[in-house]
Amino acid sequence: MSTPFPRKERGESVVRWLYSLALYLLSPFTLYHLVSRGFRVREYFRRWDERYAAYSTEQGRPCVWLHAVSVGEVNAAAPLVNALLRQGKGTRWVVTTITPTGSQRVRALWGERVDHVYLPYDLPGSVDRFLQHFRPTVALIMETELWPNMLFGCRDHRIPVYVLNARLSARSLRGYRLLRPLLGRALRTVRCVAAQSAADARRFQVLGARADQVRVLGNLKYDVEVPDGLGALRSAFADALGRPRPVWIAASTHEGEEEAVLALHRRLRARWPDLLLLWAPRHPERFGRVQAQAAAAGWQVGTRSRGGWPAAGDEVFVVDTLGELMAFYACADVAFVGGSLQPVGGHNLLEPAAVGTAIVTGPHLHNFAEVSRRLDEAGALRVGQDLNEVGDALEALLGDPGLRQAMVAAGLGLVDQGRGALRRTLELIAPDLPAPDPVED
Q: How far apart are CA 265 and CA 277, in angstroms?
A: 7
Q: How far apart are CA 331 and CA 248, in angstroms?
A: 9
> Using only C-alpha atoms, what is the Rg of the chain?
23
Torsion, Cα of 40, 46, 52, 54 (10° steps): 180
Largest CA distance in the chain: 70
Q: Where are the alpha helices (DSSP H) in 94-168?
A: 100-110, 124-134, 148-156
Helix axes 148-156, 12-26, angle to 10 degrees: 130
Active site (annotated) includes residue 255: no
One-letter amino acid at 186 equals A
Answer for the pair 368, 418: CB distance below 8 angstroms, yes or no: no
One-letter amino acid at 356 equals G
> End-to-end alpha-carbon separation of the chain, Å?
33
Report phi then psi at 4, rounded to 5. Answer: -70, 150
In DSSP notation, 384-403 reads: -SSHHHHHHHHHHHHT-HHH
Q: How many other CB atoms are found less than 10 A from the CB of residue 285? A: 17
What letter would DSSP give residue 10?
Answer: T
Among the listed residues 12, 73, 351, 395, the single catalytic one is: 73
One-letter amino acid at 335 equals A
One-letter amino acid at 432 equals D
Q: Which residue spans within 17-168 are E strands per DSSP?
A: 63-67, 93-97, 115-118, 136-142, 161-166
Answer for the pair 181, 158: CB distance below 8 angstroms, yes or no: no
* Burial tier of 14 (Cβ tally within 10 Å: 0-12, 13-18, 19+): exposed
Q: How far apart are CA 131 and CA 335, in angstroms?
A: 42
Helix axes 198-207, 180-187, angle to 10 degrees: 110
Catalytic residue IDs: 73
